Structure formats: structure tokens, C-alpha cells
């Protein structure tokens, strides 16, 4: 299994260098995130640093984020099952990235764009197959009814 993970790491290396070099390391240096340990083979965990700044304001609606070999979680997640589910969800995204390599982000975006353009009764984020897979792995609800969409029944594109 570790051999496959190492091969996935090599396959993902260009994206890893970009994300770590231009996102993770600068955020760590600026004190916006804090190292919280290793959560899996080749996956490091960081927590959003406490305090209010431009970066923490971006996290108002999100519990976690994952990039190549890294996941960042919100500092306000209770240390209970919700934290565990969030970490498992984000680890699943990391594993997806080991499989799809540098194509992970474009594929994720294209899936959301396809849903938004062609599937009017679906949500571009909640119905994205990458998100559904991660929610399934974490034991979270996979199908989210329209009335529970956090951004409203009619807003199908949550990123703006």
C-alpha cells in the first residue's frame, strides 16, 4: 500500500510543489495555520490558527480543505465525531489526489461545471462526485436534499 502511495506522491509532485510552495508554507510562515501532526502516510494536518484575519474570514463556511499531501481543518471544530468525520473526509480527498495526480483539481472543477451547466436540479458542490465520495468515506450524508443546501435552494454554485 505504501508503494502505491509513493507512486501517487510522485504522480502528484508538480501539484504538491505548487500548493506547498505558494499556499501551505506561506500560510504557516504568516501564522495563519499551525502544524497539527501527521494524519496518514504522506499526509500532514494543519489547523487554522485562532484569531480573526482575512484568511480566517474565508473559512466561515468551511470545516476543512485538502491539497496534495496536506489537509487544513477549522480551529472551531469540536473535538468529537465531527472532527473525526472532517479529517476522514479530507483524507479521502488527499487519496483522490494520489490517484488523479495533477488532473485532480481540473477534474473536480469540470465535474462541478458540468453539474452547474447541464444538471439544473443538482448542486455543483454537494453533488460533485469527488465530494459525494469523500462524504461517503467519512460516514456523512451523501445525498443532501435541496432544502438543506447551506447556500439556499436556488444557489447551485457556492463559490461566488
For residue range 107-129, list pLDDT tens digits in order: 999 999 999 999 988 999 999 99
For residue range 52-111, list pLDDT tens digits in order: 888 888 887 788 889 899 999 988 887 778 888 999 999 999 999 999 999 999 999 999
Residue 10 has pLDDT above 70, yes or no: yes
Assess contact for 125 and 158: CB atoms under 8 A: yes
pTM for the complete prediction?
A: 0.88
- Greater confidence (141 vs 160) lies with 141
| Predicted local confidence at residue 41, as pLDDT | 87
d(CA 156, CA 160): 10
Residue 8 has pLDDT above 80, yes or no: yes
d(CA 17, CA 7): 16
Residue 160 has pLDDT above 70, yes or no: no
- Greater confidence (151 vs 9) lies with 9
Amino acid at each position: 500500500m505504501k508503494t502505491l502511495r509513493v507512486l501517487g506522491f510522485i504522480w502528484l509532485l508538480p501539484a504538491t510543489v505548487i500548493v506547498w510552495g505558494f499556499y501551505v508554507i506561506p500560510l504557516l510562515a504568516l501564522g495563519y495555520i499551525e502544524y497539527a501532526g501527521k494524519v496518514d502516510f504522506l499526509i500532514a494536518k494543519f489547523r487554522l490558527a485562532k484569531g480573526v484575519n482575512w484568511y480566517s474570514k474565508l473559512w466561515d463556511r468551511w470545516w476543512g480543505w485538502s491539497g496534495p499531501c496536506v489537509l487544513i481543518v477549522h480551529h472551531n471544530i469540536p473535538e468529537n465525531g465531527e472532527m473525526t468525520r472532517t479529517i476522514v473526509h479530507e483524507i479521502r480527498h488527499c487519496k483522490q489526489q494520489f490517484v488523479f495526480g495533477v488532473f485532480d483539481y481540473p477534474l473536480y472543477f469540470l465535474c462541478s461545471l458540468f453539474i452547474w451547466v447541464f444538471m439544473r436540479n443538482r448542486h455543483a458542490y454537494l453533488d460533485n462526485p469527488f465530494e459525494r465520495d469523500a462524504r461517503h468515506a467519512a460516514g456523512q450524508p451523501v445525498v443532501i436534499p435541496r432544502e438543506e443546501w447551506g447556500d439556499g435552494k436556488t444557489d447551485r454554485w457556492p463559490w461566488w
